[in-house]
Structure 1
Amino acid sequence: MVTGPALSPGVPFATSSSEVSWPEAPLPLASPSPPGAWLLLTDEHPAALGRAVALALALAAAGDDALSLPRDDLDELPGFLAERPVRGVVFLTGAPYAYHDPEAAQELLLSVLEVVARLGPGVRFHLLTQSGGEPGLLFLRGLVRVLAVERPELRASLVDFDARADLGFLVRELRADTPDDDVRWQHEVRYAARPARVPFAAEVPGGPGAYVVTGGRGPAVARWLAATGATRIVLSGRSQVVVPGVDTVVVPGDIAAPGVADRLVAAATADGLPLRGMVHAAEALADDVETVWRPQVLGACRLHEATAGSPPDWWLLASSPAPPRLAPATAAAWLD
């Protein structure tokens, strides 16, 4: 994933990219703390419910109480927390494969947001996943990054816990209350994310062949691809684009709608021309999740499905460089 101002030399998207390292980060030695209570919430996935029960038992073994609140009673959450002070609120997700579908991922995100909207200051919020290396839940990183800016008092964290690890380590993680906001436990070893900005030095190959481009920056991308020697450039959208010396085709329609991605790929590969590259830069300038996710996330899925039989040599997924906002940040994290 690249972000940055458009029309920089070379790739017309970025001057830098983000990179995350995962050094070992053992929990600090902590003095015994008094017993406390935790509120455990889940979505409707059966695996999440089972893990909540297991975590409740592990917390009880450590001397803490585990509380629950039915999803239908979320409106009562502020009053519930006012009457029952807790050390933190833990939201447990289901198995990662359950969220590979964008609509399921979006539904999970909205469920989490329902909880976040009802939390006041003084209560830390933890998202607990069990990905097993699968990327299906990584979009939640975008949520945690935005909450760090918009709701810093929640000190939101994402904890990915190995299903084979002793739950006692997870209890220690929760009770330690460290400042780390993105943690991964693998084989009972703790790692913490350390993001950094690095120069974007990737060489995106051009040359003869066909390319598909989506999004409002299509004309700029088309000019860049033409300069690399592209034979045909197929763009999604409504406005006509003419690039001298290149076969330029515009396919109208919503990239997230069924059939549009197939028409883009068919136009690109007509006459047997090989599909060299795919630039997906579709985005929506909005704040609601559904509006933003539709072109970026669902559109990417449509393109992925359309190219299953003729995968391109490379993909370039672009996101907005705007200040972090929840809907674009989670969509970009899903694409990552």
Structure 2
Amino acid sequence: MTATMPVPATASPALLDVRDLTVVYELSARTVHAVTGAFLDVRPGEGVGIVGESGSGKSTFVRALMALLPGGNARVVSGRLSIGGKDYAMADGARMRRLRGRTMAMVFQDPLSYLNPLMTIRTQIVEAIRLNDPGAAMDKRVRELLDLVRLPHRVLASYPHELSGGMRQRVLMAIALGCRPRLLIADEPTTALDVTTQAEILALLKDIMRELDMSLVLISHDLGVVSSLCERVFVMYGGRTIESGPRDAILSRPGHPYTRALVDAARSVRGPDGRFVTLTGDAPKLQDGAEACPFITRCTSAMPACAAAVPELFVVADTGGHVARCLLHSPAAH
């Protein structure tokens, strides 16, 4: 059964709905198709994960949502976003930028790259609040934010280099939450943190979602991190959304061979030779528009039809909108 778009898992209306997002990077000698026809939807109060290898298009996708693509060579070719029932053309960068702060906010993976080393923590939090909510009572709001991210008030006088990695990540979260956004995007928020601190940050995100009744989009290559916070998962490969569905269905019954490889690697599955299963081959080149399944050169289940065109989305099972861009689920394969 073909599915032109994922079937919603419930009748709940989406807080955010992205369709047909395509982003290219115009370089001197070539055009890189970083994201092609990708999609995402998030319901109120829901955690949604976007997973995939480095270079799969995850970060470009969410940066396009936030209108934070690098100027000069990045271009949104197409994409429609609906948030709270209001439609936006994602190529309209000026209009998309107005969604930052109160509607959507983002936490980045490397706090030292995004915090100003010459400004105190208080100054940086206040700066973010004033940008989006200049009429706020600053001292009261700052104290509330520190309490929300479980930081002592003494850090306000500190500089970023004086804090631990986990504390700096909490500061970034406080800045992002300054205007109580309806949706928080977290891009690899636990990268480079030790295991204990990772667990603390994930538990904190879960608490904040509940306290603020906020939705979360979590970008990660770590399926364990995603499974702890997300109810649904979107898998990206070669700039495309190749599978989506409920978390448990994706992890226990992956419909795409690429997703299966990710799950096996995360679970340290051993092959017939006793070695850990790994994904062999190289990620696809994105210089030219794909005319075949992007996973074809690495797929052990590839068939001749996979080389003819990029597969459509097919229903994997009638379990709440589980779909995959793979011919293994086409009617002709059964």
Q: TM-score, normalised by structure 1?
A: 0.26
Point out which structure has higher relative CO (alpha carbons under 8 A, 6+ apart). 2
Q: Which has the larger radius of gyration?
A: 1
Q: TM-score, normalised by structure 2?
A: 0.26
